Amino acid sequence: MIKNRQTTVSCIVVLVFGLFLFYTGTDGFTAYTAETARVTKLVEEQPQFPQVTFEDSEGRTYSISEFEGKYVFITFIYTGCTTICIKLEENMSEVYDRLPGEYIGKDIIFLSISFDPGNDDPATLNKYKDLFGSDGETWRMARIPDQDQLGTLLRKFGVIVIPDGYGNFAHNSAFYLVDRQGALVDVMDFTKVKEAADNLKETLKADRGK
Amino acid sequence: MNQFLLGLVLFIGLMLPPVANLMESVMIIHMHMQMPMLVIAGFFMGQFFQQRFPHFFSKYNQDGIPGIFLFIIIMGYWMLPRTMDEALTVNSVELFKFISLPFLAGVPLRDSWKKLSKNRKNYTIAFFTVIFLGMGWLYIQANDQLCNNYLVNDQIILGWGFITMAISMLVYLVYTAVVDPSLYE
Least confident residue range of A126-130, A156-160, B15-19: A156-160
A112 phi and psi, to 5 degrees? -105, 125
Residue A4 has a pLDDT of 78
Q: Which residues of chain B from 83 to 122 reach within 8 Å of chain A, CB to CB?
A: 83, 85-86, 89
What is the rounded average pLDDT of the residues A135-150? 92
Does the distance separating the beta carbons of A33 and B85 come in below 8 Å?
Answer: yes
Q: Are B32 and B38 in contact (CB under 8 A)?
A: no
What is the rounded average pLDDT of the residues A161-177? 78
pLDDT tens digits in sequence order for chain B, 185 residues long: 689 999 999 999 999 999 999 999 999 999 999 999 999 999 999 999 999 998 899 888 988 999 999 999 999 999 988 898 889 888 999 999 999 999 999 999 999 999 999 999 999 999 999 999 999 999 998 877 777 778 888 889 999 999 999 999 999 999 998 988 788 87
H/E run at residue B116: none
**Percent of chain A's residues with pLDDT above 70:** 96
Residue B12 has a pLDDT of 95
Q: Are residues A31 and A69 in the same domain?
A: no
Q: Are B177 and B184 in contact (CB under 8 A)?
A: no
Closest CA relative to residue A74, chosen from A178, A196, A154: A178
Burial A153-167 (b: 16+ CB within 10 A, else e): bbeebbbbbbeeeee
Q: Out of A2, A25, A172, whose CB is closest to B80?
A: A25
Does the distance separating the beta carbons of B59 and A34 come in below 8 Å?
Answer: no
Residue type, B153: N
Please state the separation of Cα A184 from the chain's center in Å: 9
Q: Are residues A122 and A20 in the same domain?
A: no
**DSSP 8-state assignment for residue A162:** E
Residue type, B117: S
Domain limits of chain B? 2-177
Which residue in B65, B77, B148 has the most chain A C-beta atoms within 10 A of its own C-beta, making it the best mutation to test that interface? Answer: B148
Residue B115 has a pLDDT of 93
Q: Are residues A13 and A57 in the same domain?
A: no
Residue A2 has a pLDDT of 46
Does the distance separating the beta carbons of B82 and A32 come in below 8 Å?
Answer: yes
> How many whole angstroms separate alpha carbon B96 and alpha carbon B109?
18
Please check the confidence at residue A3 and state whether its pLDDT lies above 80.
Answer: no
A137 phi and psi, to 5 degrees? -120, -65
Which range of residues forms the domain containing residue A30?
5-42
> How many whole angstroms separate alpha carbon B111 and alpha carbon B159?
30
Residue B152 touches partner A, C-beta closer than 8 Å: yes
Q: What are the start-end ranges of the E strands in A39-138? A: 54-56, 61-62, 71-77, 108-114
Q: pLDDT band at A140, cuts 50/70/90? A: very high
Residue B151 has a pLDDT of 80
A181: CB partners within 8 A, 6+ apart: none
Q: Are residues A120 and A38 in the same domain?
A: no
Residue B66 touches partner A, C-beta closer than 8 Å: yes
Q: Which residues of chain B from 46 to 65 reach within 8 Å of chain A, CB to CB?
A: 59-63, 65
Q: Are residues A113 and A198 in the same domain?
A: yes
Q: Are residues A56 and A89 in the same domain?
A: yes
Q: Are residues A95 and A141 in the same domain?
A: yes
List CB contacts (< 8 A) between A3 and chain B.
Answer: 62-63
H/E run at residue A143: strand A139-143
Its pTM stands at 0.77
Nearest CA in chain B to A159: B148
Number of domains forming the structure of chain A? 2
What would the pLDDT profile of A49-92 be if each residue is shown by its tens digit? Answer: 998 999 999 999 999 888 988 999 999 998 887 777 888 899 99
Q: Are residues A11 and A99 in the same domain?
A: no
Pairing of strands A169-171, A175-178: unpaired
Q: Are residues A170 and A69 in the same domain?
A: yes
A61 SS3 class: strand
Please check the confidence at residue A210 and state whether its pLDDT lies above 70.
Answer: no
Q: Are residues A25 and A107 in the same domain?
A: no
What is the rounded average pLDDT of the residues A104-110? 91
Residue A29 has a pLDDT of 84
A134 SS3 class: coil
Does the distance separating the beta carbons of A164 and B69 come in below 8 Å?
Answer: no
Q: How far is A83 from chain B (nearest CA, A)?
A: 12
